[in-house]
Amino acid sequence: MRRPKSRASRKQQKNNEVQEIDILKEWIESQKPESGSNPLALDPLKSKSPIGRIVDPESGAVSFSSYAGARKFYELPISKRTKNGLERGGFKKMTDIQVASLPHALCGRDILGAAKTGSGKTLAFVIPVLEKLHRERWGPEDGVGSIIISPTRELAGQIFDVLKTVGKYHTFSAGLLIGGRKDVDVEKERVNELNILICTPGRLLQHMDETPNFDCSQLQVLVLDEADRILDIGFKKTLNAIVSQLPKHRQTLLFSATQTKSVQDLARLSLKDPEYISVHEKAVTATPNRLQQTAMIVPLEQKLDMLWSFIKAHLRSKILVFLSSCKEVKFVFEAFKKLRPGIPLKCLHGRMKQEVRLGIYSQFCESRSVLFSTDVASRGLDFNKAVDWVVQVDCPEDVASYIHRVGRTARYLSGGRSILFLMPSEMKMLEKLQAAKVPIQFIKANTKRLEPVSKLLSALLVKYPDMQQLAQRAFITYLRSIFIQKDKEIFDVTKLPIDDYSASLGLPMTPKVRFLNQKKKSKNESEKSTLVESETLDMENESAIAKEELLVEDVKEDKDFLLKDTPDLGEGNANETGDIMSATRILKKKKLKINVHRPVGTRVVFDEEGNTQAPLAMLAEKTSGEIQLDQDKKKEYYKKMREELKQVDKEDKLLERQRLRENRMKKKMKLKKGQREDDEEDDISGSEGEADANKKRKRSKIYFHSDSEEEIKADSISLAEQEQLALKLLNSMHS
Ligand SMILES: Nc1ncnc2c1ncn2[C@@H]1O[C@H](COP(=O)(O)OP(=O)(O)OP(=O)(O)O)[C@@H](O)[C@H]1O
Ligand 1, atom nearest to 95 Cα: 1
410 C-beta closer than 6 A to ligand 1? no
d(CA 26, CA 21): 9
Q: What is the pLDDT of residue 520?
A: 58
Residues whose CB is less than 8 angstroms from the CB of residue 317 and which lie 6 or more positions away in sequence, other chains included:
368, 388, 389
**Type and span of the H or E element at 452:** none
Whole-number CA gyration radius for the chain = 35
Per-residue pLDDT of 600-630, as tens digits, reads 444 544 444 444 455 565 566 655 545 566 7
Residue 155 Cβ inside 6 Å of ligand 1? The answer reads: no
Sheet with 196-199: list strands edge to edge: 174-177, 196-199, 146-149, 221-225, 251-256, 111-114, 275-278
Q: Where are the beta strands (DSSP E) in 200-313?
A: 221-225, 251-256, 275-278, 291-297
Q: Give yes or no for residue 39 CB within 6 A of ligand 1.
A: no
Q: Is the CB–ligand 1 distance for residue 288 below 6 Å?
A: no
Which residue is closest in CA terms to ligand 1's atom 9? Answer: 120
Which is it for the CA torsion 321, 363, 410, 198, positive or negative? positive
Q: Which of 169-178, 230-239, 426-435, 625-634 has the lowest mean pLDDT?
A: 625-634
Distance (Å, rounded) from C-alpha 523 to C-alpha 535? 8
| Closest ligand 1 atom, residue 162 Cα | 31
Asked if residue 638 has its Cβ within 6 Å of ligand 1, the reply is no
Alpha carbon of 455 to ligand 1 centroid (Å): 44
pLDDT tens digit sequence for 660-687: 888 888 877 777 766 555 444 333 333 3
462 C-alpha vs ligand 1 centroid, how far in Å? 47
**Does 382 sit in the ligand 1 pocket, CB within 6 Å?**
yes
What is the residue with the minimal CA distance to atom 3 of ligand 1?
91
Ligand 1 pocket, residue 122 CB under 6 Å = yes
Going by alpha carbons, the residue nearest to atom 29 of ligand 1 is 382
> Region 379-404: what's the mean pLDDT?
92
What does the CA dihedral 334, 340, 342, 345 come to, rounded to 10 degrees? Answer: 10
Q: How remote is the CA of residue 160 from the centroid of ligand 1, in Å?
A: 14
What is the distance in A from the centroid of ligand 1 to the CA of 601? Answer: 49
**Confidence band, pLDDT 50/70/90 cuts, at residue 159:** very high
**DSSP tag of 208:** H
Residue nearest to atom 27 of ligand 1 (CA): 380
Distance 49 CA to ligand 1 centre (A): 28
Measured distance CA(170)–CA(168) in Å, rounded: 6
Q: How far is the CA of 673 from the centre of ligand 1 (A)?
A: 94
723 or 265: which carries more pLDDT confidence? 265
* Cβ of residue 124 lying under 6 Å from some atom of ligand 1: no
Ligand 1 contact via 167 beta carbon (within 6 Å): no
- CA neighbor of 159 nearest in space, from 138, 180, 144, 178: 178
Which tens digits make up the pLDDT trace of 508-545?
999 988 776 665 555 555 544 433 333 332 333 333 33
Residue 412 CA to ligand 1 centre (angstroms): 6
Q: Which one of 39-43, 71-75, 565-569, 730-734 scores highest in mean pLDDT?
A: 71-75
Mean pLDDT calculated for residue range 359-379: 91
- Strand duo 440-442 + 605-606: pairing: unpaired
Q: What is the dihedral of CA 670, 676, 681, 683, to 10 degrees?
A: 170
Smallest Cα–Cα separation from 115: which of 351, 412, 540, 474? Answer: 412
pLDDT of res. 655: 84
Q: Of ligand 1's atoms, which has the minimum distance to the CA of residue 89?
A: 31
Buried b (16+ CB within 10 A) or exposed e, 94-130: bbbbbbbbbbbbbbbbbbbbbbbbbbbbbbbbbbbbb
pLDDT at 703: 31
What number is the ipTM of this complex?
Answer: 0.99
pLDDT of residue 732: 54
Chain-centre distance of CA 92, in angstroms?
A: 36
Distance separating alpha carbons of residues 224 and 193, to the nearest angstrom = 22
Q: For ligand 1, atom 25, name the residue with the nearest CA.
A: 117
Local structure of residue 387 (DSSP, 8 states): B
Least Cα distance to 120 among 151, 166, 81, 79 occurs for 166
Q: Whose CA is nearest to atom 22 of ligand 1?
A: 121
In a 13 Å sphere around the CA of 549, the CA atoms on its Cβ side amount to 23
Residue nearest to atom 14 of ligand 1 (CA): 118
Query: What confidence category does residue 658 fall into, taking pLDDT thresholds of 50, 70 and 90?
Result: confident
Q: What was the pLDDT predicted at 27?
A: 96
Coil, helix or strand at residue 638: helix
Give the model's pLDDT for residue 642: 82
How would you label 617-638 residue by residue, b for 16+ Cβ within 10 Å and e otherwise?
eeebeeeeeeeeeeeeeeeebe
For residue 553, is pLDDT > 60? no
Residue nearest to ligand 1 atom 10, measured at CA: 120
| Cα-to-centroid distance, 74 and ligand 1 (Å) | 18
Helical (H) or strand (E) element with 321: strand 319-322
Q: Give the whole-angstrom CA distance, residue 490 versus residue 299.
A: 14
Coil, strand or helix: which one is 93? strand
- pLDDT per position as a tens digit, 37-79: 999 988 888 877 888 888 888 888 889 999 998 999 999 999 9
123 close to ligand 1 (CB < 6 Angstrom)? yes
**Of 442, 463, 481, the residue nearest 300 (C-alpha):** 481
- 222 CA distance to ligand 1 centroid (A)? 20
Average pLDDT of the segment spanning 641-660: 82
Cα 468 to Cα 481: distance, rounded to the nearest angstrom: 20
Reported as type and span, the H/E element at residue 343 is none
CA of 423 to the centre of ligand 1 (A): 33
Do residues 242 and 205 touch, judged by C-beta distance below 8 A? yes
Coil, helix or strand at residue 314: coil
The residue ranking higher by pLDDT, 723 or 217, is 217
Q: What is the mean pLDDT of the chain?
A: 79
Our answer on whether the CB atom of 118 is closer than 6 Å to any ligand 1 atom is yes
Alpha-carbon distances of 682 from 108, 540, 688, 695, rounded to whole Å:
103, 73, 8, 9
Is residue 116 within 8 A of residue 287, CB to CB? The reply is yes
String of b and e for 448-472 (b: at least 16 CB within 10 Å)? eeeeebbebbbebbeeeeebbbbbb
Residue type, 586: I
Q: State if residue 128 touches ligand 1 by the CB under 6 angstroms criterion.
A: no
Atom of ligand 1 nearest to the CA of 384: 29
Q: How far lies 254's CA from each of 62, 260, 276, 565, in Å?
A: 35, 9, 10, 51
Q: How far apart are CA 352 and CA 537, in angstroms?
A: 35
Better pLDDT: 562 or 39: 39
Is the CB of 151 inside a 6 Å radius of any atom of ligand 1? no
Query: Which residue has a Cα nearest atom 31 of ligand 1?
Result: 120
Q: What is the 105 CA–ligand 1 centroid distance (Å)? A: 17
Q: How many CA atoms lie within 13 A of 564 on its CB side?
A: 4
**Measured distance CA(377)–CA(401) in Å, rounded:** 11
pLDDT at residue 194 above 90? yes
